Each structure stands twice: as C-alpha cells, then as structure tokens.
Structure 1
Amino acid sequence: MFLAGVLLLVSILASSLTVRAGLPLLLVFLGVGMLAGEEGIGQLDFDNSGLAFFVGNLSLAVILLDGGMRTKTSTFRVALWPSLSLATLGVVLTTAAVGAFAAWLLDVKLIYGLLLGAIVGSTDAAAVFSLLRNSGVRLNERVGGTLEIESGANDPMAILLVVMLTGLLQTADHLSVWAFLAQMFQQFALGSIIGLLGGKLLLLILRRVPLVEGLYAILIISFGLAVFSGVNMVGGSGFLAVYLAGLTVGNGHLKQLESISKVMDGLAWLAQAGMFLLLGLLVTPSSLLTHGLEALAIAAFLIFVARPLAVMICLLPFDFRWSENFYISWVGLRGAVPIVLALYPVIAGLTNANLLFEITFTVVLISLLLQGSTVPLVARWLKVVVPPAPAPTTRFSLIDDVNSHYSLELYEFFVQADSLHIPASVVQNVPSATVSTPQLVALVRDKKPMVVNAETELKAGDRIWMLLHPDDVNEVALRFSQQTSESFLLQNFFGEFSIRGDASLLDLAKVYGVPLEGISAEDTAAELLQRQLGKSLVVGDRARFGNLRLTIRQMNGNQIEVIGLKLHDKAQ
C-alpha cells in the first residue's frame, strides 16, 4: 500500500512537468512503472500477467464509461458512420497490412504477424480521450467526434481478432469466415443493445433514487462494471456496452451531472494511472532492446503506411478533406489497449508470446512519444482547429426537464473584458415560471457581491451568476465575452463580419462586387456552403464566394445559423 501510494504520488506530481514539456501524461505513468520495476531504481519484481490483465480490463471499463459520458450525441450527426467504418473495416485493414509486414520482417508465420497486427490495430480510448481533452486545442466537430467515437467503438473488433487468432494458434484449426462474421455480429449486437438499455435503466435509477451526492458516481461505476462483465459473460462486447451506457447517461440531462462528472474524472484518472503503472512494472526494459529495431520499423510502418491507408479507404465515402484524413490517421494513438491485448497470447502460453508483447510495448512507447507529443502542433498545422467558443465556467441543473420550457439551470460566466454592460432587460427582469429571458442572480467582484443596475460596468475577472434555459446559454456567453470574441484570433478565423445563414446570396454579391452569373434570388449563403462542402457540415467549414471567404460560425443541428465573412483573403 505504501509503495502504491508513493508511485501514484510521484506520477501525479511528475505529470505537471510533462504538461509543460508537451508530452502525454500517460507516458509519465508508464515511465514511473518502468523505473520502479526490477531493472529500475525501485527493484520491484512484478511478473503477474493475470493480475495486470484483470486490472487493465477493469481500468479500461472505467475509462470508457467516463469517455462515453463526455461524448455528446450531437457529434453522431457527422461522425457516427465514419467512426464505425474505422472501428470495423479500419481495424481489419490495419491488421492485415501490419500483419503481412511483421511476418516478413520477423520471419515468422503469417498468423503470428496477423496476431501482432490485431493487437496494435485499434486506437486506444484512454490515450485519445486524455490527449484530445488536455491538448489545449479545440478540433472541429467532424474530426474530434470521429476520433472519440472510433476509439470507444473499435475495441470489440480488435479483441475479437486477437481471441480468434490466439485460439487458432492453440488448436491449429482453420479460420471460418462465417464463424468470424457471426461472432462479430454477436459482439456488436449484444454490446449495443444491452449497453443502451442498461444506460436507460441507470438513468432511470439516478433520477428516481435519492442518494448522498458523492454516491452517484460510485453508483454509475458499479453499474457500469456490472454491465461490462455481464455482457462479456453472455458473449457480447463489454467495452462497447459500457461506452454506450456512459453515452446514454452523459446525455440524459441529470441535475447532478456537474458534480458526477468531477468525481468520474478523478476515478478515470486513477484508473489510467493504476493501469499504466502496473503495465510499466510488468515490462523488463532491457528486453525491449532485443528487438528494438524491428519494433521501430513496425511502428513506423503502422504510423506512416498502414494507418493512413486504412483511414483513406474507410473515409473515402464521406466528406472529409485531405488534411482531416491525415490528422485522423496521425491521432491513431496506441496505448493501454494494445498492451492488454498482448497479454492474451502470454496467458495462452503461445511460443512467440514474449516477442509479441515486447514489440507491442515498444510500438506503444513510440506512438505516445511521437504522435502523442505532437497532437496540438499537427492540428494547428493542418488547420483542423476552431477557436474555443465562449462558455460558462460552472453549471447546475435546477429543473432537469430539458425538453420543456420549464427547464432551468444556474450558470456562472467569467467576464474577460472591461466596459461591458449587463442588458437592462436582464437586470430588471424578475423570476418567472418560464424563464423567457435570462435572470441575473449575482455579480461577484473580488470575491464580494455587487449591487447591479443598468449602468453597472463589468470588469475583467468579474463572475456573473444567471438563471437560463439551456438553449440561451451560448448567446449569453457570447454577450459577456463580446470584446474577446472580436479578438484578432477570432477575426482572422471567422472574419470581420457575421451574417445569418439565410442571408440572400444575390444581395451579398451586389454589396461586395461578386459576379452575379448563376445566382438566383432564392439562393442563400447556407445553400452555397452546402453545395460546395456537402451535407455533413460543422463549425469551421469554409468556402470561397468571389473575393469573400465564408466560414460557418454557429450551427443548430443541421442548420447553419451564423456565417463569418472575411474580405480579400486568399487562404482557404
């Protein structure tokens, strides 16, 4: 217990230095585990593959549950089918490519190469969730949603391939394509159905059963682990089930969601830290050097050839730009999942099991070092980022009937500019049953409440508490960051002016001197963007119209509401 506490403490303290250096936090936990191992300064002799496998699966279930709770269903509008394509066909293509290359390079049977390809064929949810949310960049919804959903949904295919190939090596049977397809259908079907139904049941329990606030997250964790293990026991994919259960709960508009999320975040970090520490302890660093060059070649082939080809083929039917394809292939991070999968052949006692494990571990280290440390840099280079939208710092649900006009939430906004005013209608408004307009609750300056009237000037650093309907929060957030939203960064990205999506294209052409050929009186700016860019549009998508650059600034579902307009810009 003392050693476990010290290792966690050292890892967490070291993580602050890693953030400044731009390295993935998960790399710290792996490194501390390796340093504490038998060849490190800790001299801890740990070789219990079964315990590491158990802890790894347990931790991954918690991480996927938390990841599902943080994924918004709105991203499914543009990312569901591309993600499923990558999570199924993408894993198979990566497995085949890496398998053939590894079998040739290592001079082993093709089935061993395919097993290695299956082990490293899926992206890692823990690594993707962690790096995307701590990278400091906001990806456009199409790219970010695809990466998150793919990482949460591709584990079933990878596990199925690893289990079947391991079984074939144990029994020397022939691979039945029909048996494989039937097993794949069973894994996805049971995982999806039970995960969604379990999430609905958990949501009902959370709404109906009163508990001490701190117990809600524990209830979610225990329910999620029961779903995970139960689905595995009946032959489904527990990873997919627990991810979908978390997705259902996270989008269920619970009053307690804000406090639950904070506890879940801590539990997910504990799961990641514990898992990576244990996996770091399990490996012997000197053994990694035995096949270091081969592992480096396989990692390079995976990162620069196999993954990009799989992404390009899988996303071919969808409206992705080449830069988005490249970034999705680059953030195909490998992490704990491949290491845990590499324990299957070790536990099964296969002849080349240690070789597969050592190469997998090295591939993961290279992926985290090379890809993980460049996530924000490559995102900016490929221009798949959008400026962060103004948002409240704190949210509390008071009435959780979000589909009703009676829904009510308390928000805190952080003022980022001086000389702003609270609209008179908000200051003078009194509480009403329908919350038709925002209601001011308090203005806090220097930790003291302020008396507010229509002449009150806000200062940077003020905190505003307001009662709002969830549909109004974006508009209010923009109002309190008005000057910030017109900063050079946002002007350069969206443009100097904003127009409505239904603005007449003909009027726009007349005002800015764009040729009128082919423009009818009914054409709108939104229709132009849809014609040029396709149907699955997100904030940040842009198109040219004469000497204008039009950039989507705000959307409501599939409808373009606000478009940024920039003059005389030659860059796309």
Structure 2
Amino acid sequence: MESLNVFILIGAFILFIGLLLGSLSTRVGVPTLLVFLGVGMAAGENGIGGIQFEDVDFAFLISNLALAIILLDGGLRTRLETFRVGLKPALSLATLGVALSAMFTGAFATWLLGVDWRVGLLLGGIIGSTDAAAVFSMIRSAGVRINARVASTLEIESGLNDPMAIFITVLLIDLLLKPDASWGAETLTTLIQQFGVGALLGVGLGILLAELLLRVRSNEGLHALLLCTGGLSLFAITNLLGGSGFLAAYVAGLVAGNWRSGTSDNVLRSMDSMAWLAQSGMFLLLGLLVSPKEMLDSLLPGLAIALFLMLVARPLAVWLSLLPFGFPRREQGFIAWTGLRGAVPIVLAVFPLMSGLDQSRLLFDIVFVVVIASLLLQGTTLGPMARRLKLALPPAAKPLTEVGLEGVDDQFVAQFRIEPGSRADGKALGDLVTPAIRPVALVRAGSSLSLEDNPVLRAGDTLSLLASHGDLEQLSEWFLSSTVALRRFYGDFTVRATVQVADVAMSYGLTGLAEDELALSLEQLFRRRHNTTPVVGDTVDLGGIRLRVRAMDKGRVSLVGIRLPKG
C-alpha cells in the first residue's frame, strides 16, 4: 500500500509541476510543450528525479490516446466556414507536402549520417509531418490573430497529415525488415484505405456521436467525457478497420462541432481541460523515455537535420504544394516556418524501437533533438514572425459566453461587454438590431433594462444577442474599443461589400479605373483580384486608396475598410 501511495505521489507531483510551469511559460515566451518535455527529462534517469522508465509500449499507448483526444478537440474548434477555406491547400500539404519533406530530409540525412538510404528516408518520414498538438497549442498561444486562410490551412494540415507520415514510416520499416518483398498496387491501396476509411468513418460516426449527445441531456463535464470516450472508441474502430484513427478523430470532432447548434462554450472549456491533461501527460511521459546522455551524442547531427528541415525541406515542400492555390509569398513563408514538430514524430520514432530495427535508438534520439529544436526555434517566434510578415490581425471582440439553442440550426445566444470608445458606445440598440440579430437582454450596473424603449448603449453595459455564428462574428467589432492601431489597419471608414466600385470611385474622386471593374461590387472586386478565397485582412489597391476586408459572412466579404492615402 505504501508503494502505491509513493507511486501516486510521484506521478501527481510531476504532472502538477509540469502543468504549473506550463501555465507560467507563455508569459516568458517559452512553448508549453517544451516545458512538459523538459520536466519529463528532469524527472528521468539522468535528471534530478532519477526515474528509470523504459516501457516503450506503455508510452506508445498513452501517446496514441492523447493524440486522439487532442485531434478531437482541434476538430471541435474548427468552424466549417474556415475548413472550406483551408481544406484544398491543407490536403495538398498533408499528402504531397509530407512526401516531399520526407524525401528532401531523407536524402540529406543519408548523406550526413552515412546510413543506408532506407534508414535516411525512414528518418525523413518520421519527421515529415507537422504535429497537431504543437500546431493547435502554439497558434492559440502565439499572442497574435492570424488570418483565417493561413490559420485554417495550418490546423487542418496538422489534422490530416498523420496518415501519410504513418504510411511512409511503416512502409520503410517493412522495406528494411523484408528487403526482398515486392511493392506495388497493394502499397497504394493501403494509403488510400488509410485516408478513405478514416474520413468516411470520421464523418459517419461523428454524425452518430453528435446526434446521440444531442439527445442525451447532460452537464458540460459529462458531455465532454462522453465526447472523449466516444472519440476514442471511434479512433480504435477505425484503426481496426484499416483506416487512420487520427484522421477519423479530427473529422469526427469537426462534424460534432458544427452539427446543428454546434458545441457550447462550456463544453469546449471542459474539453480544453481534457486536451491539457492529454498533452501534458503525453509529453511528460515521452520526456521520461529519453536519456539525455545518449541524446547528447546525436545533438550536432540532430541540429543539422532540424535546420535543414526548417530552412530548406519544409519551405521547398510548401512552395511546391501550394503552387496551384495562389498563396502570397508572405503566407507561404509563415506556413513554412510553422511546420512545428511535436509528439507525432516522437511516437512514430517508437515504431522502429518496437520493431527491433538496427539504429532505431539513433533515430529516436535524432527525432527528439529535431522536436526540441522545432519547439524552441519555431515555437517561440511565431508571434514575431506573423507581425514581421504582416499577417497579424487586430484582436477581435470575443463574447463573454456563447450558447447554442437546442433544436435550431446555427442560432446562438452570445453576451458582449461594450468597451469604451467602441462603435456601439453611444448608439441606440435599434442601430444594431436586424431581422437576423435579435436582442435578448441588456444589463447595466446589475439591472436589466427594458428593450422596448430602444435604450442608448453605454460603455460597461452587457448585451445579449440571438443570431447566427456568422452574424455574431460580423457584429463583434461593434463592441471593440476603436484604437489608433485598429484604424491604421482597417482605415477610418467602413462600407458594406455590396457597394459598387463606381460609387466608391465617385465618392473619392478616383480616376483611371478599368471599365469592367466599375460595374463590380467590392465583394466581386476582391474575388477577381485574389486567386484564393478572400479572408479578413486581405487588401486591394483601388486608384490610390487601400481597401481591406473587415468582416466575412458565410464565406463572402461583408464589410470593407477604406484607408485614404496620407496627405
């Protein structure tokens, strides 16, 4: 009994320290995941804890379960509108991009390490995919708001690219163990099966899970537990049927998060706790698995491979994969730099260890160095990089609460606080209300005001509105303080995107515009000028004035900011 309590004490204390330091790490710009790895290594056999942990099978099991929960949580938070924007480029990055990264990195590793080309390519395949846990965590904690096209492409890529990385890893291990085996149509069929079965079961069982949970009235904590256990069951079923359980978990989360009224904020907060527990436990356990003394022998080659991956292989793969989609160079550069490596490469590096391959420990140590270098170099610089490439958007006003109505599709009650100097401050309530946006309650100094009197809104008021998610996103800017930075970014004037280009030209005395563009609306102008779907932050120059997308509604530009030239 005493040994059991000691075991519980050590495990809980390590997890507590990891979570405590992780919660403080963002204040000093250190990636949370790196802290978890560091605490695990410090508690390991070469650290101050001296814990000897070599149970590869147990670490592999926990890592798979944790990744499934993290991917499920990521899918729940992905809006279908942004998924449509980023799906095609993300799919290209998740397939062609992973294969190219693996090929380029594998060739470099073969030359640098002097190993068999199959071992080098195996290493390239292991570190070829981005990691969902790292990407989801770092984008949300970077301290900047990135435009929807880039953010959705990165998040969807990290949710979709695991099947390709697993396929390459398993294929190369089989090739090393069975060098005389023939590879042909059966190999391609396996890859298609991974993607196809994973996607189909993710959609089908995701709908089933969403419908079931809608009919089971439960509190937020129980709802999150049902989501997690249902998602893990889906993960296991998909793997048993030959599909990608990771892909199925992400797609099921996407379906459940957008089905009917979606997932409430309270459930997402509960899921956030589950995701934190999953990623902290996983990275702590993987940190325990590493021997820092052995890893030091692989430090220099690992750093060289990491730098080649970050500065050569990933940028080349991104450029080639995104060629058909017309991404601006700035966005390509940021996507290339945000190719974060995390738990997935470490988990894939366990495959050779479990298979008993020669040089498997070398591969594991190099992969660990690559992951640490990626989190340290890329993870700590995402915010500054986004600002340097001018991809950072001004912060958006987030509702205090947002709850979906049961039995009604895409209708939410959201509560906003009116900030001083915002567009809503001093406006009558009727100025915000439309047939699609209905007021529910207005609270001032702890008292509820009558809505029938069309009260004037004041700073500090709390306003509850009933509307669709798209309308709420568009309306949220009314409650944000109008700062100099906000006006500098969007301009001093805002117009609806249905306004004709000819009307803007007449109002501002613009000349020399193309005749065929004068007949267009501003929304049509953005679609003509941009090769990709417009998103908030995209700009167009019109006769010397700058137009910038300020709000989107159901995939279409709805509001446009106008900034006049200086002087």
Q: TM-score, normalised by structure 1?
A: 0.92
Task: Give, in angstroms, the shift of residue 134 of structure 1.
Answer: 1.5
Give the letter for the 1:501 counterpart: A
Per-residue deviation, 1:181 = 1.2
Query: Which among 557, 560, 564 is matched to residue 557 of structure 2?
Result: 560
CA contact (8 A) 1:426 1:439 kept: no
Alpha-carbon contact 1:156-1:187 (below 8 Å) kept = yes
In structure 1, the gaps of 5 or more residues are none
Q: Quick check: 1:79–1:146 contact (8 Å CA) kept in 2? A: yes
| Partner SS, residue 544 of structure 1 | strand
Equivalent runs, 1:332-347 vs 2, <5 Å:
332-347=339-354
Q: How far apart, in 2, do the equivalents of 1:182 and 1:565 lie? A: 52
Q: Deviation at 1:480? A: 3.2
- Mapped partners of 2:556, 2:219: distance in 1: 41
Paired amino acid for 2:428: P
The answer to whether structure 1 residue 272 and structure 2 residue 279 are counterparts is yes
1:206 partner amino acid:
L
Q: After the TM superposition, which residues 368-387 of structure 1 pair with which residues of structure 2 at under 5 Å, given as runs?
A: 368-387=375-394
Contact 1:496–1:566 at 8 Å: present in 2 too? yes
Query: What's 1:543 paired with?
Result: 540
Report the Cα offset of residue 298 of structure 1.
Answer: 0.3
Call closer, same or farther: CA 1:370–1:230 in 2, change over 3 Å. Answer: same
> Pick from 491, 497, 510: which aligns with 1:495?
491
Greater shift in the superposed pair: 210-219 or 559-568: 210-219
Does residue 1:240 correspond to 2:247, yes or no? yes
Q: Which residue pairs with 1:531 in the alignment? A: 528
Pick from 183, 208, 211: which aligns with 1:204?
211
Distance in 2, matches of 1:442 and 1:494, equals 29
* Residue among 415, 418, 431 paired with 1:412: 415
Question: Gaps (5+ residues) in structure 2?
Answer: 1-7
Q: Return the offset for 1:102.
A: 0.3
Paired with 2:526 and 2:455, the residues of 1 have a C-alpha distance of: 41
Contact 1:529 1:543 in 2 (8 A): yes
Residue 501 of structure 2 corresponds to 505
1:360 aligns with 2:363: no
Cα distance, 1:88 vs. partner? 0.4
- What's the secondary structure of 1:371's corresponding residue? helix
Taking the aligned partners of 2:22 and 2:543, their CA distance within structure 1 comes to 49
Matched, 1:44 2:42: no
> 2:4 maps to which residue?
none
The CA RMSD measured in Å over matched residues stands at 2.2
CA deviations on 1:315-370 (whole Å, 9 max, x unpaired) are 00002000100100000000000000000000111110000000000000000000
Deviation at 1:451, TM superposition (A): 4.5
| 2:217 is the counterpart of 1:217 | no
**Closer/same/farther in 2, CA of residues 440 and 421 from structure 1, 3 Å limit:** farther
1:150 corresponding residue in structure 2? 157
Assess, with a 3 A threshold, how the Cα gap between structure 1 residues 487 and 169 changes in structure 2: closer, same or farther. same
Tell me which residue corresponds to 1:423.
428
CA drift at 1:509: 2.2
Q: Distance in 2 between matches of 1:471 and 1:104?
A: 52
Query: Do the aligned partners of 1:547 and 1:569 also contact (CA within 8 Å) in 2?
Result: no
Name 1:479's counterpart in structure 2.
Answer: 478
Distance in structure 1 (CA, Å) of the matches to 2:155 and 2:420: 34
Change (3 A) 1:352 1:186: same
2: CA distance, partners of 1:121 / 1:205: 37
Contact 1:421 1:455 survives alignment (8 Å): no
1:533 deviation in Å? Answer: 1.5
CA 1:469–1:527: 2 relative to 1, 3 Å: closer
- The 5-angstrom pairing of residues 125-164 of structure 1 reads 125-164=132-171
User: Which residue in 2 is equivalent to 1:449?
Assistant: 447
Q: Which amino acid aligns with 1:555?
A: M
Tell me the distance in 1 between the aligned counterparts of 2:21 and 2:99.
37
SS for the counterpart of 2:51 is: coil
> 1:126-183 CA deviation, whole Å, 9 max, x = no partner?
0000011111211111100000000000000001111111112112234524222111
Give how far 1:424 is off: 4.9
AA aligned opposite 1:506: A
Q: Secondary structure at the match of 2:405?
A: strand
Distance of 2:488 and 2:170 partners within structure 1: 51
CA contact (8 A) 1:442 1:466 kept: no
Q: Report the Cα distance in structure 1 between the residues aligned to 2:566 and 2:431, rounded to whole angstroms.
A: 39
Q: Residue 261 of structure 2 contacts residue 405 of structure 2 at CA under 8 Å; is this kept in 1? A: no
Task: Find the partner of 2:402 among 395, 398, 415.
Answer: 395
Report the counterpart of residue 180 of structure 1 in structure 2.
187
SS of the equivalent of 1:317 reads: helix
Length, aligned pairs only: 556
**Which secondary structure state, in structure 2, belongs to the residue aligned with residue 399 of structure 1?**
coil
Using a 3 Å threshold, how does the CA distance of structure 1 residues 98 and 468 change in structure 2: closer, same or farther?
Answer: closer
User: Shift of the alpha carbon at 1:469?
Assistant: 5.0
Query: For residue 3 of structure 2, what is the aligned residue in structure 1?
Result: none
**Retained in 2: the 8 A contact 1:418–1:457?**
no
Structure 1 residues 507-516 or 135-144, which shifts more? 507-516
Q: CA deviation at 1:78?
A: 2.0
Q: Report the CA distance between 1:536 and its aligned residue.
A: 1.4
Aligned-residue identity in percent: 44
CA distance in 2, matches of 1:424, 1:291: 65
SS of the equivalent of 2:402 reads: strand
Secondary structure at 2:168 match in 1: helix
Cα distance in 2, alignment partners of residues 338 and 275 from structure 1: 13
CA distance 1:237–1:46, change in 2 (3 Å): same
SS at structure 2 position matched to 1:555:
strand
Pairing 1:7-22 to 2, within 5 Å after superposition:
7-22=14-29
Structure 1 residue 37 displacement after superposition: 0.5
Partners of 2:566 and 2:167 in 1: how far apart? 50
**Whole-angstrom CA distance in 2 between matches of 1:497 and 1:456:** 25
Judge conservation of contact 1:333–1:372 (CA < 8 Å) in 2: yes
Show CA shifts across 1:275-307 (max 9, x none).
000000000111111021111110010000000
After the TM superposition, which residues 55-70 of structure 1 pair with which residues of structure 2 at under 5 Å, given as runs? 55-70=62-77
Residue 428 of structure 2 contacts residue 454 of structure 2 at CA under 8 Å; is this kept in 1?
no
Helix, strand or coil at the partner of 1:214: helix
Deviation at 1:256, TM superposition (A): 5.8
- Partner of 2:324, secondary structure, is coil
| CA–CA separation in structure 1 for the residues paired with 2:114 and 2:532 | 47
1:121 and 2:133 aligned: no
Q: CA deviation at 1:442?
A: 4.0
Would the alpha carbon gap of residues 67 and 569 (structure 1) be closer, same or farther in structure 2, given more than 3 Å must change? Answer: farther
